[in-house]
Amino acid sequence: MQSVHVAVRLRGIDAPEKRGKCDGEKAAAARATARLTELLGDERVYLSDIAGDKYFGRVLARLSVEGNDDLGRTLLKEGLVAPYKGGKRRDWCADASLRSEAVGPAFAMTDR
């Protein structure tokens, strides 16, 4: 079996950054990363709707595993990421709910 390692940005979402500007964004990024890792498990990963990404040599794609055809949509439904359709990204540090030590989804879904 051939293996290919590729950096992927999930299509349709804006996720908090691990190197974010505030502790709340960094904590939200850790929660989103942990959940994505859990969803991936040891499953074979499939990419669809693939395009080149303009940053850092990544590809932009939808990510799926057996039994879940869009991991980005799952993260959206669980409130761990925000929708993204281009343009200005969410200001994670301006979100008051991220300034607390809350566990679990850190913000209400908005279509910014």
Structural tokens at position 64: 């799926």
3-class DSSP state of 68: strand
- The pLDDT assigned to 98 comes to 58
Token look-up 């993204």 returns 84
Q: What is the mean pLDDT of each run of 10 residues along the chain (112 residues)?
A: 83 92 91 95 91 81 93 95 86 69 43 38
- The pLDDT assigned to 3 comes to 80
3-class DSSP state of 100: coil
- The pLDDT assigned to 110 comes to 40
- The pLDDT assigned to 109 comes to 41
- The pLDDT assigned to 88 comes to 79
Domains of the chain, by residue range, sit at 8-99
Strands 59-64 and 82-83: unpaired
E strands, the chain, where?
8-10, 13-14, 46-52, 59-64, 82-83
What distance in Å separates the CA atoms of residue 97 and residue 85, rounded to the nearest whole number? 23
Burial 24-41 (b: 16+ CB within 10 A, else e): bbbbbbebbeebbeebee
Beta bridge partners of 80: none
